[in-house]
Structure 1
Amino acid sequence: MEVEIQQKLNRFFEEIQKEDFKKMRGLGNEVPYFVFDYNPAYELMVRNSIKYYQDKLTLNIKVLNLFELIIDLFVDIGGLEGLKQFEAEQGTAELFDAIRPSIEEEQLVERIAEAAEDAQMIFIMGVGSVFTLVSTHELLNQLHARVTSTPIIVFYPGEYTGQGLSLFNRFESNGYYRAFSI
């Protein structure tokens, strides 16, 4: 299995360097969104490959981690100490319930759109780290209105069928069909 994921990663990084991919030829006016799905057991291998290729390729790739973006959002609105104290006093479930309204996908979309302005490609990681707070389906739907010319590749620990997403191969999300499987 490790050989298969490594081969899939190698094919992926070869594909994104092709001129047709960089210029988005052949998409038929579709948004340039892609899902690289993989078995969650290979999360570390995928992360390491992304870092390796990001340093090696001459493409201007911005790698955005959703977990880090959310942390940055909370730092910007007042810091993490209050959240830590709230969790210690109330518990993790209550913390998630309290912060979920503050983490609107629009705020993440804005940050991703800003990064896309001067990037050739955007890699989105950390989907599994924020799965109870951020819906990949909703995030991609909202990005559709803001980022239309920069390829966005979501690294997804689970399965994408072209019709829907299944995080960790366990949690089904709403149907999503706008992205291409890569």
Structure 2
Amino acid sequence: MSASFEERLNKVIDRLLSKELLANEGLGNEIGFYIFDYPPEKELQVREFMGTVQDQIHKRMPSISLRHINLFELLIEYLKERKLLDRAFKLQKDKGNEELIKALKGPLHEQKIAKYFVEKAKPEEHDLILMSGIGNSWPILRSHTLLNSLHPFINDTPLVVFYPGKFDGQGLRLFERLKESNYYRAFQLVP
């Protein structure tokens, strides 16, 4: 019998503070990417929990330097900096979502976003990076392609992704409905 969502959620903070995770121990030369998958209908609960995670980590282990990146907010910031956000809104209004997604493929290519992510996350300055906002970023950006693109940039800092869907150790299935995307280079944060 598998653990309930609440049981798994209650284990997250202890797992994030574990020596094994923070030191990337026992990974067999793999990069320290972890996935906390959860039922998509629990999104609002996970969003609220992200504040608790940060508060508890700072209280329980103040020496930990933590960075939380909401992927959707990062994409908005990226588009604003490049003066593309207003144009994107206008394009969506005038021509619809499909045209918008097509137009943003180049500017939001996963290699560009991976570099921007690293620029904002500064993994060399932090002990732990948390990523949320995956569901809000779809279909503009695919999480598995971004994770693959982040591999060369994030070396020793663990990255924990809060994922609204299913991760079985071999693939990611966003919202537990979309076609599975092969991604096997991460570990389940809490089974």
Which residue among 127, 130, 135 is the counterpart of 1:128? 135
Q: Which residue of 2 aligns with 1:99?
A: 104
Unaligned runs of 5+ in 1: none
Q: Which residue of 1 aligns with 2:158?
A: 151
Residues 10-53 of structure 1: per-residue CA shift (max 9 Å, x gap): 21211111222211221121100011000011111111111112
**Equivalents in 1 of 2:56, 2:128: separation in Å?**
15
Q: Which residue of 1 aligns with 2:82?
A: 77
Which residue among 112, 116, 131 is the counterpart of 2:117? 112
**Equivalents in 1 of 2:18, 2:47: separation in Å?**
22
Q: Which residue of 2 aligns with 1:13?
A: 13
Residues 107-134 of structure 1: per-residue CA shift (max 9 Å, x gap): 2211222311211111111111112111
Q: Which residue of 2 aligns with 1:51?
A: 51
Q: Tell me the number of residue pairs that the alignment of Structure 1 and Structure 2 aligns.
A: 180
**Equivalents in 1 of 2:70, 2:129: separation in Å?**
10
Larger mean CA deviation between 128-137 and 149-158 belongs to 128-137
**TM-score of the superposed pair, with normalisation by structure 2:** 0.88
**Equivalents in 2 of 1:120, 1:39: separation in Å?**
27
Q: Which runs of 4+ in 1 moved over 4 A?
A: none
> CA contact under 8 A between 2:32 and 2:156: conserved in structure 1?
yes
Which amino acid counterpart does residue 111 of structure 2 have in structure 1?
E
> CA contact under 8 A between 1:60 and 1:121: conserved in structure 2?
yes
Larger mean CA deviation between 9-18 and 106-115 belongs to 106-115
Residue 173 in structure 1 maps to residue 180 in structure 2? yes
> CA contact under 8 A between 1:87 and 1:94: conserved in structure 2?
yes
Residues 65-101 of structure 1: per-residue CA shift (max 9 Å, x gap): 1111111111111142222222221122211211122
SS of aligned partner of 2:42:
helix
Which amino acid counterpart does residue 142 of structure 1 have in structure 2?
S
SS of aligned partner of 2:179:
strand
SS of aligned partner of 1:102:
coil
**Identity over aligned pairs, percent:** 33
**Equivalents in 1 of 2:144, 2:151: separation in Å?**
11
Which amino acid counterpart does residue 173 of structure 1 have in structure 2?
E
Unaligned runs of 5+ in 2: 59-63
Q: Which residue of 1 aligns with 2:61?
A: none
**Equivalents in 1 of 2:84, 2:148: separation in Å?**
29
Which amino acid counterpart does residue 12 of structure 1 have in structure 2?
V
